[in-house]
Amino acid sequence: MTSNTLDKTTIGFGLSVAVMSILNALLVIFKEMTPPFKKAMADTMGHHWTTHGVVVLVLFFALGFVLAGAVKPESWGAGKLGNTILWSVILSCAAVAAFYLLH
């Protein structure tokens, strides 16, 4: 028997990929534009990138589980979720590239 409805964990973590890719890009831009914030990140765990990684990974898993419990499977089809992931990841990669190109 086939099931057309996506599993809730897939939707939750799929949306988390989309949201966290954008948030990751925004955090990159914000920390680079705000030296005291970048220094605070470096002071927290010894290196700004370590703190950055821990923050985005913890948020990724937390958001994934929260959204998995909150979403209605009927409102997120595989096609819609795929497009959301695709464009958010492309946008975030391009935003980080554009920022470092111009920075």
Q: Which residue has the tokens 């913890």?
A: 58
C-beta of 25: minimal distance to other proteins in Å? 8
Q: Per-residue DSSP letters for the chain?
A: ----SPPHHHHHHHHHHHHHHHHHHHHHHHHHH-HHHHHHHHHHHSSHHHHHHHHHHHHHHHHHHHHHHH--GGG--HHHHHHHHHHHHHHHHHHHHHHHHH-
C-beta of 58: minimal distance to other proteins in Å? 12
C-beta of 100: minimal distance to other proteins in Å? 5
C-beta of 71: minimal distance to other proteins in Å? 14
Which sign does the torsion angle of CA 75, 81, 84, 88 carry?
A: positive
Q: What does the per-residue mask of binding to other proteins show for 44-83, with x meaning CB under 8 A?
A: --xx-xx-xx--xx--x----------------xxx-xxx
What is the binding site for other proteins (CB under 8 A)? 2-4, 6-7, 9-10, 13-14, 16-17, 20-21, 24-25, 28, 46-47, 49-50, 52-53, 56-57, 60, 77-79, 81-83, 85-86, 89, 92-93, 96-97, 100-101, 103
